[in-house]
Amino acid sequence: MTSNILPRPRLPKVICCRIIVLVAGLLGCIAVRGSAQPSLPITFKYVPRPADNFVRIYVPGEFNGWNISVGSPAIMSFDTTRSLWTKTVDLVIGQTYQYKFNQHLNQSGTSVLWLSDPANPRINPAEFNNSLITIEDPMVFEMDRRTDASNRVTGVSAGVFSSSPIVELSYEINGDTQPGGLELFDPESGIFSGELENPVQAGAQFKLSAVTENGDTLTAIIGTLPVEVVDLPRPPGTADGVSFADAGPTVVTFSLFAPGKQFVHLIGDFNDWELSDEYVMNRDSVNADSVYFWLTVDGLSHGVEYAFQYLVDGSIAVADPYSEKLLDPAHDTELGSVYPGLKPYPSGKTQHIVSVFRTAPENFEWEVLEYDRPPQSELVIYELLIRDFISRHDYSTLIDTLDYLERLGVNAIELMPVSEFGGNLNWGYEPNFAMAPDKYYGPSVDLKRFIDACHRRGMAVILDVVYNHQAGEAPFSRLYNTSLTGDPGGAPTSDSPWLNTVARHPFNVFNDVNHESKATQYWLDRTNAFWLDEYRVDGFRFDLSKGFTQVNSGNNVELWGRYDATRIRLLKRMADRIWETDSTAYIILEHFAEDREEEELAAYGMDRGYPGMLFWNNLNHAYNEATMGYHSGGGSNFSRSYYGPGGRNWDLPHVISYMESHDEQWLMLKNLRFGACEASPGGGGRCDHSDAGYNVRDLPVALDRQKMAGAFFFTLPGPRMMWQFGELGYGHGPNGRDCLRPSNESFGDCPAGTPTRTGVKPIRWEYYADPLRRKLYSTWAALLKLRADHEAFRSTETAVSLNLGGAIKSIALVHPSMSVAIIGNFGVTSSAGSSPFDAPGIWYDFFSDDSLLITNPDTVLTLAAGEFHLFTNRRLDPPEPGLITVSSEPLATPTAYRLDVESFPNPFQNTIGIRYTVEEAGSTTLMLFDSLGRQLKRVDHANKSQGAHVETLDLSGVASGTYFVRVTTPGGFRTVPVTKTGR
C-alpha cells in the first residue's frame, strides 16, 4: 500500500521523540536486612487536583493488602512545603506491584473513590486500571507537572530513588536548562519539586537528569519537542472524525477538535504507527475556542479496515471520539466467537483503545423500510440487559428470543446501553465512545439485524444512552486531563471543551459533562442523529437527564430536583434537533425532578406536531409494599402509576410507569424474604414458620401476588414498562443470588455472597419451564393481550377511578366501548371492601369466565387474602384456565360458581331448554334477567336430586334481545347469556 498526504507542504525535518517516560541507569542494590530481598524506600506522591474533595487519601496496593480502612497504615501524609500527599514504602527491587489511590469522601470511610495514579502512565486495564510500578535501583517515578486553570504548566515534580546518594540533578524545558537543581531535591523523601517562574504550555517537553555518587545516571522525559504545524482550513464538508472524500472511499480526511493543543500526529496502520513530519496534522484555527487538527490521507486500499489514533502534544494517544468501531488491548481477547473475524490490536506499536474505519463500508439492506411506531401513550416496554438476559450475550441470539417477547405482548424493547463502555461485564453506564456499538454484544451489523427483526414484529427499539458523564477511557476524559498522558486516574482540566472540573450535582459518577458547551451539543446532536439514521432506532431513554445542567447543586439532592430553567432550555434544544431528524422519535427522560418541570417538558413540541417527552415513573416501592402485604401509612398506594386524575394528575399520558427496573430491587426478592403472613399481618413478627397461615414468603403465594400486581398495573392507561424476567418472578432464586445489592452494600437486601449491584446476575431461563412461574408469564401475557385488544385499557378517553389506599384495592375503568372493574385483596387476611362496579348488570370475570349479577354497585365484597378479580360488562374470550388461584371463600355478593350449564337452542324463538347438573341434592332456582339486571322470571325447586336435569322455559312473552339465565344449586351458581330472535 502507498500513502500520500493531501494537502501537505513539505516541512523542515524535525526530530520527534515519542517517549513518554524514559528511565536509563544501572540497577544496584542496598544492604540486605537479614535474609530479606534487597529493597528500596519508594515515596508515593499525590498532587491534589482541582476536583478533589476528600477527607483523607490512601495508597493501597499489593504491598499492604489493599487496606483502606480508617486508621490503615496505607494512609498518606500531607507535605505542606510541597503541597502534596506522600507515603514511603520499602519495596523489593525487581518486583512489580499493583496499587491505586483511594480517597475517603467522608469521615466514616463509607464513601470512597478509587483512582489510578495520575502521574504514572503504567496501568493494568485487565485489573480495574490498577497502576503498576516496577522497582529499580536507581529509578525515577511519578514525574508530574502541575497546571493552572488554563492548563499551563506551573511546576514539575518527581520521585528520584537510589541506594547511592544523588550528587547531581538538573532539568530542562524544551531543551533549555532551568535554574535550580539539587537544592530542589529532598534526599530524605526522594522528591524533586520545583515551581516555574514563567508557566509554559502543556505540550512542552520536560527532561530530568540525575547522577548518583557511584556514577549511575538517570534521565526522565515527559512529552515531546514541539513540531512545526501548518495552519490550513479544513476541506469543505469535513466533519469531526473520519470523512470520505468525493474522490472515492480510498481518500480519507481525519479531523480532531482540540482547542488549546499544540500539535497532533496521526498514527495508524497506514504509517506503521510511526511518527513522522508528513503525518503532523494541519491546524484550522476558526477561533480560540474552535481549533481543528486535520489531515487527508490518499492511496488507501479499497474495502480494508484500518486502525488509527491521534497522538496529541506528543503524550496523549487517543482514539477518535466519533469512532464507530474500536480495538481494546485489554478486553478484546475475551470476546471469542461472539465477534468473529475481529481485526487484531496493534500490540507493541501503541497503547490504549484505537479507532477502526473501513474504506468502502458495506451498506446494510433493511427489510422493513416503512415502520409505524406504537403510539407512545400505548407503549409496553421490556427493558433488558443483554449480558444478563442470554448467556451468549449477542444480538443474533437475542433475535431468537423475540418469539418469547412477542407472545408476552410487549411492543417495545429498551436496551440498556450498548455503545462502547468500560470493560465487557458492564451495565453500560461507564460510557467511552457514544457512536460505537460495544463488541461484547456482537458485530454492529447484527444490531441492525435485531432492530430490523423487531420492526417486522411491530416492536420498537429504544436505546438507553448515557450523556451525563464520561468514563476514564473516553477521549473527552483523556484529551484534557491532569494526568500527563490522559490516563484514567487524572481529572478534567478547566480548558476541556466538554467536561466540568467539578460535578454539578450529587449523583454524578466519573467525569461530569458540560451541556452548555457548544462542543458537547455538537457531539450530542450528531450522536443522536447517527443512531436514528444509521441504525433506525425508534428513540432514546436518556440516563440521568436531571444532570443536564450547569447549575451547581453540590451535594444537595433537594436543590438539584427543583425547577431549573437552564436544564429545561438544554433539553428542549436537544429535543428539537432529534425531532428535526425524526419527527416521531421517542424521547424518554430519567428525570425525577419537580412535576411542573416534567409536565412542561412533556408538552414541549406538541403544538408543532411532535410527540412531546416521556418520563420514567418509579412505582417500585408502592407496588412492592402491596405485594409484600404492608399497607400502613399509605406506602402501598400506587395511584401515581396512573398519569391522570387521582394519580399524578397530568393531562398527558407521558409517564412510563414501572414496578421494576434495572435500578430497583425485584419484587419477588422482597416478597420471598420480607413478605407478611397471616400470623403477623402488620410485620414485625416471624413469618418463616409452618403455622404462619397465609404467607407471602411461600413461592406459590408470592407468584400469585405478582399476578395480582400485574392486574393492577397493565390495565391502567398510559405507557408501561417491565424489567427482564419480572414476568417469570425473578428475584431471590436458588441460593438467593437473583438479587440487586445497592451500591452501599452494608444495608443491602441481598444475602451475603450475592453479586454486587452491577455484577453479573444468574440467567434463569429455566424459570420458563417451571409450571408455577410459567403461569405468571401467561397471566401477564393475557393481561397485555387484553390491553392490546381493547381500548378501555389504553385510551386517553377512559375514565379511571382509583381506590388504592388500603389492603382492598380497586380500579374502575369506563370507556364508551366497555367498563372494567378490578378488585383485589393485597392483605394477608380475608377482608371486605367497596366494589368498583360503575353500574348494575351482568359482569364477567375475565379469568374464570364466570358471570356475576350486580344489582347494587355499592355492594361490599369480601375477598380472601391474595384474591383478585377483573370484571368487564362485556363477555370477553377468557385466557387459558387455571392461571390464577381460585379462592374457596365466596364474595359477599355470591361469586359465580363454575357450574355446568348449557342452553339449547341458542338463539331461540319462544322456548329454551336449560341443561344443568346438581352435584348435591337440594333446592335449586332458575332466574331470568334482562340486560339491566331486572328479574323477569323465576322457577324454584325445593329438593332437586343429584344428577343431570333439564328445565324448559317458555319465554314467548318477552321481546327479542339478550337475556341472562342464572342457575343456583347447593354447590353454587352460574349465569349464562341467551338470545331471543323473535316472538
Give CA 780 to chain center in angstroms: 24
Taking 90 as the threshold, does the pLDDT of residue 153 lie above it? no
Q: Where are the alpha helices (DSSP H) in 588-728?
A: 595-603, 620-628, 667-674, 699-711
Taking 70 as the threshold, does the pLDDT of residue 11 lie above it? no
361: which residues sit within 8 A by CB, 6+ positions away? Answer: 249
The mean pLDDT of 276-297, rounded to a whole number, is 93
Mean of pLDDT over the chain:
89
Least confident span in 31-40, 434-443, 535-544: 31-40
To the question of pTM greater than 0.85 for the whole model, the response is: no
pLDDT at position 886 is 63
- The strands making up 96-99's β-sheet, listed across from edge to edge, are 96-99, 130-134, 123-124
Tell me how many degrees the CA angle 569-571-573 measures, rounded to the nearest 5.
70
pLDDT digits (tens, 9 = 90+) for 97-118: 999 999 999 999 988 888 888 8
pLDDT at position 222 is 78
d(Cα 372, Cα 714) in Å, to the nearest integer?
22
pLDDT digits (tens, 9 = 90+) for 663-701: 999 999 999 999 999 999 887 778 888 889 999 999 999
pLDDT at position 899 is 57
d(Cα 643, Cα 598) in Å, to the nearest integer?
12
Least confident span in 105-119, 577-591, 913-927: 913-927
Taking 80 as the threshold, does the pLDDT of residue 932 lie above it? no
pLDDT digits (tens, 9 = 90+) for 71-85: 999 999 999 988 899
Q: How large is the C-alpha radius of gyration of the chain?
A: 35
Could you tell me the pLDDT band of residue 887, with boundaries at 50, 70 and 90?
low
What residue has cell string 425524526? 582
Give CA 716 to chain center in angstroms: 25
What residue has cell string 409517564? 655
pLDDT digits (tens, 9 = 90+) for 945-956: 888 888 888 888
Taking 70 as the threshold, does the pLDDT of residue 963 lie above it? yes
pLDDT digits (tens, 9 = 90+) for 225-265: 778 899 999 999 999 999 998 878 899 999 999 999 999 99
What residue has cell string 412505582? 619
Give CA 80 to chain center in angstroms: 43
pLDDT at position 63 is 96
Taking 90 as the threshold, does the pLDDT of residue 270 lie above it? yes
d(Cα 732, Cα 726) in Å, to the nearest integer?
12
Could you tell me the pLDDT band of residue 847, with boundaries at 50, 70 and 90?
very high
C-alpha cell at 982: 323473535
d(Cα 797, Cα 817) in Å, to the nearest integer?
10
The residue ranking higher by pLDDT, 48 or 383, is: 383
In this structure, the strands spanning 380-384 and 241-245 are unpaired
pLDDT digits (tens, 9 = 90+) for 776-793: 999 999 999 999 999 999
pLDDT at position 888 is 47
pLDDT at position 897 is 39
The mean pLDDT of 370-388, rounded to a whole number, is 97
pLDDT at position 5 is 42
pLDDT at position 60 is 97
C-alpha cell at 917: 347438573
pLDDT at position 969 is 79
pLDDT at position 346 is 95
788: which residues sit within 8 A by CB, 6+ positions away? Answer: 409, 411, 794
- The strands making up 961-969's β-sheet, listed across from edge to edge, are 935-944, 922-929, 961-969, 972-980
Give CA 328 to chain center in angstroms: 22
